[in-house]
């Protein structure tokens, strides 16, 4: 089985690559950081005797996405699982003070990028009359929190697209699932705060966040239900987090 994971150079995507590789699946891994893709390919192929094809592109650019998917060799053409994971938050501020550059990055990556790759891969799944698309949403796609405005809007869009894809792809035997995590410790907050690692660290201070492996295990479980079972939607939170804003921390 061939699994395409977007945003595999870090965090949830990287852990997801590991778990599918460990279970004998061949992988297509994407991201912009080529060196990390090559390192991961080498590591997984050696450890698990599977094949990994890497595609280095910016998901915000439809030409790059199209060229990358069209370049796939024959033995990687039959994608059965697409994990739409590449995404980010940029900034944390009110609407009136928000930075256009942050908004555009989030909208272009989390919504438009997800759409570009989904269009291409879903058409190939339709030809095979089989497939599973797993969209990584967020608790931010179920709730809205102060200063989270545009990030929350992009993840609400993923929530809507997840439902819409399921309807459109229903005649083609394609499963569609959303996984919506709460706080997961990855590079997410470093990216959100434009590289400010100290500020990012504070996000998880005094609490146990989810780990990327927790989400990867859930993705793997969802992908391995019997053919007649589809998991539509999962919200997965740290035990100490009840909502986007309610977290118990050790003082
Ligand atoms: P990371 O920052 O650790 O990983 C993000 C991944 O997305 C990287 O591999 C990055 O690759 C890729 N990516 C980002 N922008 C682009 C782009 N323009 N083109 C191609 N790839 C891109 O964060 P997470 O693992 O936490 O995030 C994964 C997903 O999980 C995101 O959709 C995020 O919104 C979601 N999520 C995260 C939560 C959290 O608390 N961490 C909670 C809920 C949801 P590269 O930089 O190499 O291009
Ligand atoms: C990431 C979780 O709460 O920072 O999607 O938006 S949150």
In a domain, 16, yes or no: yes
Q: Are 155 and 163 in contact (CB under 8 A)?
A: no
Is there an atom of ligand 1 within 6 Å of 200 CB? no
Which of ligand 2's atoms lies nearest the C-alpha of 140? 6
Does the residue 250 lie in any domain? no
Domain contains 40: yes
- The number of domains in the chain is 1
Q: Where are the beta strands (DSSP E) in 41-152?
A: 52-56, 79-84, 131-136
| Distance in Å, CA 147 to ligand 2 centroid | 11
24-70 pLDDT per residue, tens: 999 999 999 999 999 999 999 999 999 999 999 999 999 999 999 99
Tell me, yes or no, whether 248 lies in a domain. Answer: no
Residue with CA at minimum distance from ligand 2 atom 4: 183
pLDDT tens, residue by residue, 204-231: 999 999 999 999 999 999 999 999 999 9
User: pLDDT tens across 117-145, in order?
Assistant: 999 999 999 999 999 999 999 999 999 99
Does residue 192 lie within any of the structural domains?
yes
- Nearest residue by C-alpha to atom 36 in ligand 1: 138
Ligand nearest, relative to CA of residue 148: 2
Arithmetic mean of pLDDT, 239-245: 97
Please report which confidence band the pLDDT of residue 251 belongs to, taking 50, 70 and 90 as the band edges: confident
* Ligand that lies nearest to the alpha carbon of residue 236, given by its number in the listed order: 1
Q: What's the confidence (pLDDT) of residue 233? A: 98
Tell whether ligand 2 has an atom less than 6 A from the beta carbon of residue 139. yes
Question: Per the domain annotation, does 251 fall within a domain?
Answer: no
C-beta 181 within 6 A of ligand 1:
yes
CATH of the domain at 175: 3.40.50.720
Catalytic residues: 151
How far does the chain reach from its first CA to its final CA, in angstroms?
A: 47
Q: Which ligand is nearest to the CA of 235?
A: 1
With a 6 A CB cut-off, is 180 part of the ligand 2 pocket? no
With H, G, I as helix, E, B as strand and everything else as coil, classify residue 166. helix
- What is the average pLDDT across 172-190? 98
What range defines the domain where residue 58 resides? 2-236
Residue 46 buriedness (CB in 10 A; 0-12 / 13-18 / 19+): exposed
Q: Does residue 249 sit within a domain? A: no
Distance CA 239, CA 194 (A): 28
Q: Report the share of the chain in percent with pLDDT over 70.
A: 100
Question: Does the C-beta of 5 come closer than 6 Å to ligand 1?
Answer: no
pLDDT at 136: 99
Strand order in the sheet with 52-56: 52-56, 26-31, 2-5, 79-84, 131-136, 174-181, 233-236
What percent of the chain lies above the pLDDT cut of 90? 100
Tell me the two tokens of residue 159. Answer: 């929530």
Residue 246 placed within a domain: no
Within its chain, how far is the Cα of 86 from the centroid? 5
> Quick one: which atom of ligand 1 is closest to the CA of 191?
2
Beta carbon of 241 within 6 Å of any ligand 1 atom: no
């Amino acid at each position: 089985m061939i699994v395409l994971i977007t945003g595999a150079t870090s965090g949830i995507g990287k852990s997801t690559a590991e778990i599918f590789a460990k279970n004998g699946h061949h992988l297509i891994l994407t991201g912009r950081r080529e060196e990390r893709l090559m390192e991961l390919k080498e590591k997984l192929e050696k450890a698990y005797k599977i094949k990994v094809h890497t595609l280095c592109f910016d998901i915000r650019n439809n030409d790059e996405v199209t060229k990358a998917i069209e370049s796939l060799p024959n033995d990687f053409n039959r994608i059965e699982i697409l994990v739409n994971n590449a995404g980010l938050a940029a900034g944390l501020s009110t609407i009136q003070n928000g930075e256009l550059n942050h908004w555009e990055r989030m909208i272009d990556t989390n919504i438009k990028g997800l759409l570009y790759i989904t269009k291409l891969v879903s058409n190939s799944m339709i030809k095979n009359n089989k497939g599973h698309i797993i969209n990584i949403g967020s608790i931010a796609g179920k709730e809205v929190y102060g200063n989270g405005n545009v990030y929350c809007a992009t993840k609400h869009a993923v929530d809507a697209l997840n439902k819409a894809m399921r309807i459109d792809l229903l005649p083609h035997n394609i499963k569609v699932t959303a996984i919506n995590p709460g706080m997961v410790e990855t590079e997410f907050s470093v990216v959100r705060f434009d590289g400010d690692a100290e500020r990012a660290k504070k996000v998880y201070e005094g609490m146990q966040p989810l780990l990327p492996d927790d989400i990867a295990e859930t993705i793997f479980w969802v992908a391995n239900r019997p053919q007649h079972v589809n998991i539509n939607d999962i919200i997965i939170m740290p035990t100490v987090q009840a909502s986007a804003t309610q977290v118990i921390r050790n003082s």
